[in-house]
Amino acid sequence: MAAVLFFISTRSVAQNIMTLDQVLKEIESNNPSLKAFDNQIKSEDAKVAGAGGWMAPMIGAGTFMTPYPGEGPVSDMNKGAFMVSAEQDIPNPAKLKARKEYLKTQAETYFLGKTERFNELRAKARQLYFDLLIANKRIRFQKENEQIMLTMKKLAEIRYPYNQGGLNQIFKAEGRSYEVENMVLMTESEIRTKKIALNALMNRNPANELSVDTAYIVTFNPVPNLDTTYLAETRSDILHMQHNIHAMEANIKQMKQEAKPDFRLRFDHMSSYGAMMPKQFTVMGMLSIPIAPWSSKMYRSEINSMNYEKAAMHQQKEAMLSEMLGMAKSMENEINSMQKQVANYEKKIVPALNKNLKVSMLSYQENKLDLSAVIDAWEALNMTQMNYLDQLQKYYQMIAEYEKSIER
């Protein structure tokens, strides 16, 4: 029975472990801010569907050339008529097409906005996931160090009655063990906070249990021969700006269609009040003249304004690409330097201080060293381990920023 319960418990814990890829997929599928973009895209698609519509027809009814009452006797010819009128504006097909093309660019704007937002969320999720990896390493170190100090305290208590150690050493070891206990509490609180934030990004209940894959290895994979061409094809904000330029061009094209005429068709039917007068009708076609100087100023000045704005956007894009490339290259250099520092901690500094502590503990057991010296060695290792984890966390943060900068 105990074996069955252990199997179920182990399986439950395993099911709660989420890899980084699983977390990112959950965010992409369920994050509310990303879903909002989906509805905005649908909204713009609906506008595109109605872009070819015409204005509603106008109908009217009333009298036509009817004398005022009291004008005296009038002939049948001058009694006027009852008139029914219908009028329809007919837009220029080229204008409708240009407007439809412009509206299509607006839907793509929200799609690119969604990509930008996901890149931000992905970077935030990576950082939280990496922080949890660091916190798990930290709490493991802290519990090991706490256990070491508790063991040394017990040894000191055993030796004290035999005058092989001072009472002050026991209290010093006890104080250090309580300090580590506080550090463990702080780290546990940090882990809970990070898990709540990660669950929130996935739109899950903040109280849901979540475990990260502690076997996950964070690696730095720089883009070979990184240049502005790569960034221009990858960065969603640059793609968004390029799209804005394309949208501006579509708007300019739409504005240029204002130089083309619109049409209007009108039909009037008249039934005379005079018995001897025939029914009459009027059919009239009308054409706007937008090239008239007093009407062309508006769209021509608007086109000039948008051309200047488009040129400015091109220049902003080039400036952003240059700045982004410089930042990415700087991060590559800094990450490579941090990678060497982390390797020194892992392969040289921490192992050396760990050996120092073991030798000190052995010497204490052989009565060649007092407990204070052992505690000093323990403190040196403890502090170095925390410094190592702080440096490792900065290294992971820099990798997350680099991945964000290259949209990967």
User: If you count DSSP H runs as helices and E runs as strands, how many of each does the chain have, helices first?
Assistant: 10, 6
**CA nearest 357: which of 141, 187, 133, 134?**
141
Average pLDDT of the chain to the nearest whole number: 88
d(CA 107, CA 9): 48
CA torsion, points 384, 388, 390, 393, in degrees to nearest 10? Answer: -170
Copy the structure tokens of residue 49.
């569907």
**CA nearest 223: which of 350, 331, 99?**
331
Residue 9: pLDDT over 70: no
The pLDDT confidence band at residue 399, using thresholds 50, 70 and 90, is: very high
pLDDT of residue 352: 96
Query: Cβ contacts of residue 63 below 8 Å, gap of 6+?
Result: 80, 81, 82, 83
- List phi, psi (to 5°) of 280: -130, 165
Contact 297, 288 (CB under 8 A): no
DSSP states of 186-250: HHHHHHHHHHHHHHHHTT--TTS--EE-TT------PPTT--HHHHHHH-HHHHHHHHHHHHHHH
Name the 3-class secondary structure at 261. coil
Angle in degrees, 0-180, between the axes of helices 93-159 and 32-49, rounded to the nearest 10: 180
Residue ranges per domain, the chain? 18-65+78-405
Copy the structure tokens of residue 106.
């607006």
State mean pLDDT over 275-288. 87
* Cα 38 → chain centroid: 14
State mean pLDDT over 66-87. 82
Instruction: Pick 230 or 157 by higher pLDDT.
Output: 230
The pLDDT confidence band at residue 101, using thresholds 50, 70 and 90, is: confident
The pLDDT confidence band at residue 157, using thresholds 50, 70 and 90, is: confident
The pLDDT confidence band at residue 5, using thresholds 50, 70 and 90, is: very low
d(CA 351, CA 131): 23
pLDDT of residue 341: 96
Instruction: Pick 407 or 165 by higher pLDDT.
Output: 407
pLDDT of residue 43: 87
* Identity of the amino acid at 324: M
pLDDT of residue 13: 45
Contact 177, 156 (CB under 8 A): no
Contact 208, 156 (CB under 8 A): no
Name the 3-class secondary structure at 277. coil
The β-bridge partners of 78 are none
Copy the structure tokens of residue 33.
């801010």
| Most distant CA atoms of the chain, gap in Å | 143
DSSP letter at 408 equals -
Copy the structure tokens of residue 331.
């991060």
Residue 274: pLDDT over 60: yes
3-class SS shares of the chain: helix, strand, coil, % to 5? 70, 10, 20
- What global pTM score does this model have? 0.83
pLDDT of residue 146: 92
Q: Write out pLDDT tens, residues 306-320.
A: 999 999 999 999 999
Window from 61-65, 207-211, 220-224, 289-293 with minimum mean pLDDT? 289-293
Contact 38, 114 (CB under 8 A): yes
Burial class of residue 375 in the structure, from the number of CB atoms within 10 Å of its CB (0-12 exposed, 13-18 middle, 19+ buried): buried
pLDDT of residue 2: 43
Copy the structure tokens of residue 280.
């009459």
CATH superfamily of 18-65+78-405: Outer membrane efflux proteins (OEP) (1.20.1600.10)
